[in-house]
Amino acid sequence: MTRVATTSLLVLTFFPMIALAAELPSRKPGLWEVKTSFGNGNVPAQVIRQCVDASTDQMMQARSVGSSQRDCTKRDVQRSGDTITIDSACTVAGKARTSHIVITGSFDSAYTMTLTSQDEGAPAGSRSMTMAVKWISACAADQKPGDMIMADGRKMNILNAQRPGMPGLPQPPR
């Protein structure tokens, strides 16, 4: 279960930021609930809460742009009303990956992001993930931007994970 939680946390943190790096606005400051469901249905939905402010979102976007665009040969962003569609073709761990992301809603109250991807050499069919994200309230007095509250109540700060030697996110499974 720890492996699922760690993987989900990394997906929740970095996949959205790759998508959001396309000049999207920062989320409204406060506490956001992020519910992630995976298309195969084999993994239960994961729910976390994130305390964010504009600078936290901007920092995460800036860090992801450098690594995500470096290995992508295609990145097509389309906007229509409250829907943003992003299609990309990238190289991940030496293999081609195509991704299709659709984000619908408002970064002030609630939005949904659906990601489907297909990796070169993987069995036919795509992997999918859906995130339902909604603003809950202002962050609590004991929370600071970057805090992520896991379903089991554990709290870690994504900003600390960006600094070597600082406690924050658990290490990805090997």
Q: For the chain, what is the domain count? A: 1
In a domain, 171, yes or no: no
In a domain, 168, yes or no: no
Per-residue pLDDT tens over the stretch 134-155: 999 999 999 999 898 988 889 9
In a domain, 169, yes or no: no
In a domain, 80, yes or no: yes
Mean confidence (pLDDT) of the chain: 76
Residue ranges making up the domain that contains 63: 2-161
Helix (H) or strand (E) holding 77: strand 72-80
> Is residue 132's pLDDT more than 80?
yes
In single-letter form, the type of residue at position 77 comes to V
Per-residue pLDDT tens over the stretch 18-45: 444 545 677 899 999 999 998 776 778 8
Considering 84-93, 116-125, 155-164, the range whose residues carry the highest mean pLDDT is: 84-93
pLDDT for residue 67: 47
Going by C-alpha positions, the residue among 23, 20, 22, 21 that lies closest to residue 34 is: 20
